[in-house]
Amino acid sequence: MKRDFLRLSDFTASEYTALFRRAAELKAARASGQIVRTLTAKTLLLLFEKNSTRTRLSFEAAIGQLGGTAITLPMQESQVSRGETLADTAAVASRYVDAIVYRTHGDDRLRELAKSATVPVINGLSDGGHPVQILADLFTVTERFGSLRGRIIAWVGDGASNMALSWIEAAPIFGFTLRISAPEGFRPPKAGIFETVNDPSVAVRGAHVVTTDVWVSMGQEKEAAERKRAFSGYCVDEALLGRALPEAIVLHCLPAHRGEEITAGVLDGPRSAVLDEAENRMHVQKALLEALLLRR
Structural fold of domain 131-277: Rossmann fold (3.40.50)
d(CA 13, CA 202): 29
CATH topology of domain 8-130+281-293: Rossmann fold (3.40.50)
Catalytic residue set: 103, 130, 133, 213, 253, 281
pLDDT score recorded for residue 231: 94
Global pTM reads: 0.96
Over residues 166-196, the pLDDT tens digits come to: 999 999 999 999 999 999 999 998 888 999 9
Residues of the chain with CATH 3.40.50.1370: 8-130+281-293, 131-277
Q: So what's the pLDDT on residue 192?
A: 85
Closest CA to 285 of 89, 123, 153: 123
CB 116 within 8 A of CB 93: no
**Lowest-confidence range among 16-20, 224-228, 270-274?**
224-228
The whole-number pLDDT of residue 223 equals: 78
Coil, strand or helix: which one is 61?
helix
| H-state helical runs in the chain | 13-31, 54-65, 86-96, 107-116, 131-145, 162-174, 200-203, 224-230, 238-241, 264-267, 274-293
Give 69-89 pLDDT, tens digit per residue.
999 999 899 999 899 999 999
